[in-house]
Structure 1
Amino acid sequence: MLPLVVVGVDGSAESLAAAQWAAREAVRRERPLRLLHAWNWHPSRQESGIDNAAQRHLARRVLREAEDRVRAEYPGVQVSAEQVEGPAIGALVKAADEADLLVLGSRGLSGFTGFLVGSVALGVVAGASRPVVLVRAGEEAADEHLPADDGAASIRTGYRDVVLGVDVGEPCDEVIEFAFEAARLRHARLRAVHAWHAPGPLGLGPGDIALVDEPRQADEWLGFLKAVLRVWHDKYPEVEVLETVVQDKPSNVLVRAATGASLLVVGHRLAQRSVGPRTGPTTHAAIHHVGCPVAVVPHG
């Protein structure tokens, strides 16, 4: 059986946008799509059968709404729906670990029906061993594409850039490969970005880069970035790559670079699981401040 694209839905505008993005990704990857709704059941509280029946009915309604929208817009997608009883983070992490990728709304409802609140999404990103894509409310198919010649939104034009954040000091194959594959599937340009800063007096940096004047340091960093990506150029010769280095904090660089992109790809170190549901500062900034879909790819 082919690995699934899984999307968590809770009835919010964010999760419906995530479901439609996930359907488009399922088409691109030629994968089945599974809609997943999780609701908490607390048997220790001795809830009445009426309460549980109401939750199940609500879950069916949430799934049916998402499924109807997906089938109406993407009739060729193979869709299934599932409701799970239990803590949302655990259910979604398990689903992510068994999927090609998991898609979530980046914001969601709180209260009775919602589970894709910020803490849950961050918990899933921090705990999943497979890529998680976060999608904001209002994301539409045309947002992934370049505007038409007259400036109007279109789904018939080429895709906007896929943006990849690269740390040339610790490049991660899983993150880079995901970005190249995303660009290949979209026939899009890949814009690889590295943020650098002038080394302090206690650390010269790779190749004693601080020994050269500051204008030339950017050229040195660009050379490092090109070297890191050289093998990936060979693996994906059909992908056009634009390498860029910028002197600034990584979070600032990625937020700016993702403006007008179809997708931003960042990494998350799995070792950070040990400190709880947290992400690094760059990934955290991307999740909270980038408007386009953000793919968080775990790595060792």
Structure 2
Amino acid sequence: MTHHVTAGVDGSPEGLAAAEWAVEEARLRGVPLRLVHVAEKPLTLVVAALAINADQPAGAAGADAAGDAVLRETARTLRERHPDIEITTRRRSGRAPAALASEADEAGMLVLGSRGLGGVAGFLIGSVGTATIGATARPVVLVRPAPAGEPGPAPVGRSPDGGRDQAAQGDVVVAVDIHDPADETLVFAFDEAARRGCAVRAVHGWRLPRLLGLAIDGDSRLDLEREITRTLRDLLLPWRQRYPSVKVVEEARTGSPAHAVLAASAQAALVVVGRRVRRSPVGGHIGSVAHAVLHHSIAPVAIVAHN
């Protein structure tokens, strides 16, 4: 079954940026795009509805109408710009994280918008984005609008003659833990790079424990760096063989994993970070590396769940 791409929209510039990125992703995948708006009902209205046993709380019709208008206008804008892509819409009601996670489970990917954190800093994903990411096993991509006067983020693709498009910029950067690699994350990254005709930049961040770092000499440290680089290269060998058309660049960087990924992502087309699926009474977790990358990357970030 071919899964569509889903984008959550709310009428904001962030939602439109997500929809624009998602429609290009749908083109690369050869699938339709579904635009989803969640008309959240304020808790006070829900309580009032329960108290009077009403089907619709007062004001809900207005929220639904506003959501329909957002979907209609966003779809119109995208269809004018991308007449070759099939675009459908769906309005949902309820709590946004649960509704968006449910939509993600039907899709190949969920794309959400996010505000930038001042100037060129990364994402302010908020409670809705955090909860949605933690509630679905599907990949979730966070996209933020470009600052005024700068081009927005977009996937890169191949030109009609099969070569790299002249406008193509950046590689797919993927965070790799050589001690606990996640196949789901690597499959996603290599598939995305193959679609775009760009390289995979596999990044592993490492650092010595403080006391050991003080004791080790320069030659021993260099030997350790070479061993880590060799381990990363060997780990990626099966992926090179599986994706022969994708160029692979290995980067073993000193520093925390998050800082290593961020240092490599300045010109990335997409940053891919895994998150381990963990459930708790208060919901799923994003993970410290994914959380840090989301808050500081200026490139779109894909969060891929793995066991």
TM-score, normalized by length of structure 1? Answer: 0.86
Query: What residue is the counterpart of 1:227 in the other structure?
Result: 234
Q: Separation in 2 of the partners of 1:179 and 1:133? A: 12
Query: What residue is the counterpart of 1:33 in the other structure?
Result: 33
Gap change, CA 1:266 and 1:49, over 3 Å in 2: closer
| Kept in 1: contact 2:189–2:200 (CA 8 A) | yes
Query: What residue is the counterpart of 1:131 in the other structure?
Result: 139
Query: What residue is the counterpart of 2:88 in the other structure?
Result: 80
2:207 pairs, out of 191, 197, 216, with 197
Q: Separation in 1 of the partners of 2:155 and 2:33? A: 20
1:44 pairs, out of 25, 42, 47, with 47
1:200 Cα deviation from its structure 2 partner: 6.3
| Kept in 2: contact 1:37–1:63 (CA 8 A) | yes
- SS of the residue corresponding to residue 157 of structure 1 reads coil
Q: Which amino acid aligns with 1:45?
A: A
Q: What CA deviation, in whole Å up to 9, does each residue of 1:150-174 have, x standing for no partner?
A: xxxxx74334111011000000000
Q: Map residues 1-300 of structure 1 onto 2, 5 A cutoff.
A: 2-41=2-41, 42-46=45-49, 51-107=59-115, 118-138=126-146, 140=151, 144=155, 156-199=166-209, 213-272=220-279, 276-300=283-307
Q: Separation in 2 of the partners of 1:93 and 1:62? A: 20
1:43 Cα deviation from its structure 2 partner: 3.9
1:242 Cα deviation from its structure 2 partner: 0.4
1:278 Cα deviation from its structure 2 partner: 3.2
1:196 Cα deviation from its structure 2 partner: 1.0
Gap change, CA 1:23 and 1:245, over 3 Å in 2: same
| Kept in 1: contact 2:143–2:301 (CA 8 A) | yes
- SS of the residue corresponding to residue 237 of structure 1 reads coil
Q: Which amino acid aligns with 1:57?
A: A
Query: What residue is the counterpart of 2:161 in the other structure?
Result: none
| Kept in 2: contact 1:159–1:186 (CA 8 A) | no
Q: Separation in 2 of the partners of 1:117 and 1:213? A: 42
| Kept in 2: contact 1:17–1:105 (CA 8 A) | yes
Q: Separation in 1 of the partners of 2:40 and 2:2? A: 29
Q: Which runs of 4+ in 1 moved over 4 A?
A: 47-50, 139-146, 199-202, 272-275
1:265 Cα deviation from its structure 2 partner: 0.3
Q: Separation in 1 of the partners of 2:46 and 2:255? A: 51
Name structure 2 gaps, 5 residues minimum. Answer: 117-123, 158-164
- SS of the residue corresponding to residue 213 of structure 1 reads helix
1:49 Cα deviation from its structure 2 partner: 6.5
Gap change, CA 1:175 and 1:220, over 3 Å in 2: same
Please give the root-mean-square deviation of Cα atoms over the aligned residues, in Å. 2.6
1:129 Cα deviation from its structure 2 partner: 0.6
**For this pair of structures, how many residues does the alignment match?**
280
1:14 Cα deviation from its structure 2 partner: 0.6
- SS of the residue corresponding to residue 38 of structure 2 reads strand
Q: What CA deviation, in whole Å up to 9, does each residue of 1:203-244 have, x standing for no partner?
A: xxxxxx99x700121111111111111111111000000001
Q: Which amino acid aligns with 1:98?
A: E
Deviates more, 1:42-51 or 1:185-194: 42-51
